[in-house]
Chains A and B, each alone.
Chain A
Amino acid sequence: ILNVEQSPQSLHVQEGDSTNFTCSFPSSNFYALHWYRWETAKSPEALFVMTLNGDEKKKGRISATLNTKEGYSYLYIKGSQPEDSATYLCAPDTYGNNRLAFGKGNQVVVIP
């Protein structure tokens, strides 16, 4: 079982502030890292699929970086808005078989 750590587990952010959080995963046999945004009673929404060391991806105010050698990824939210409130999940795919191992998530609450 892969050990995937996400920190901090939960955070409260003032509207307009920027924030970031970390996903750590084993670097061996790395194939891809998936980031999701999950709101209660909805499908997890795919944010990024990252494969290359040093990769940086952006979707609106959300961006992510990847370090495959040391096994971590950062997710950034710039200028947080209440609609950013959700749980953000990271999941590495080792061996490229799409069998994902998830962390417990970063629960973000944006305070208006």
Chain B
Amino acid sequence: SAVISQKPSRDICQRGTSLTIQCQVDSQVTMMFWYRQQPGQSLTLIATANQGSEATYESGFVIDKFPISRPNLTFSTLTVSNMSPEDSSIYLCSASSRPGNTIYFGEGSWLTVV
């Protein structure tokens, strides 16, 4: 199994600012992902965080808005840029060692944009 820690767990942010969320996994994993859940919506995949290269974004998500870093196999960051109230969501980091294996999630970062 893998234990995933996210920071911050919760924050209130001013409109127009940016916030970086950190994700730390307690073991080396091949795959890391970032999801968000807006109020009343499903968990939605934002991007796959690739180690040593640019992240792969899902339709509707762009690098300028959600820059992602993954400098090594156990750590990734997601930045939510130029925030608006529509970015108020839970952001979750997930990790897995290979396809078909269990995918583990962090506890999420609850962001409220005012």
- Point out residues on A near B: beta carbons under 8 Å: 1, 4, 31-32, 34, 36, 41-44, 46, 49, 51, 89, 91, 93, 96-105
Contacts and interface: CB of A to CB of B under 8 A. Distances in A.
Contact of B45 (A4, A31, A51, A101): A101
Contacts of B45: 99-101
Given A42-B107, A43-B108, A99 B100 contact: no
A30 B54 CA distance: 27
Contact of A44 (B41, B101, B105): B105
The 3 A-B pairs at the shortest CB distance, nearest first, are namely A96-B99, A102-B43, A44-B105
A14 B69 CA distance: 46
A41 B103 contact: no
A49 B102 contact: yes
Given A49-B100, A97-B99, A103 B42 contact: yes
B4 interface: yes
22 contacts: A32-B99, A32-B100, A34-B102, A34-B103, A42-B107, A43-B104, A43-B105, A43-B106, A43-B107, A43-B108, A44-B43, A46-B102, A46-B103, A46-B104, A98-B31, A98-B33, A99-B48, A100-B43, A100-B94, A101-B45, A102-B43, A104-B41
A103 B35 CA distance: 13
Nearest to B3: A43
B83 interface: no
Contacts of B94: 100
A104 B41 CA distance: 6
A98 B100 CA distance: 7
Interface in B1-60: 4, 31, 33, 35, 41-45, 48, 58-59
A44 B42 contact: no
B107 A1 contact: no
B80 interface: no
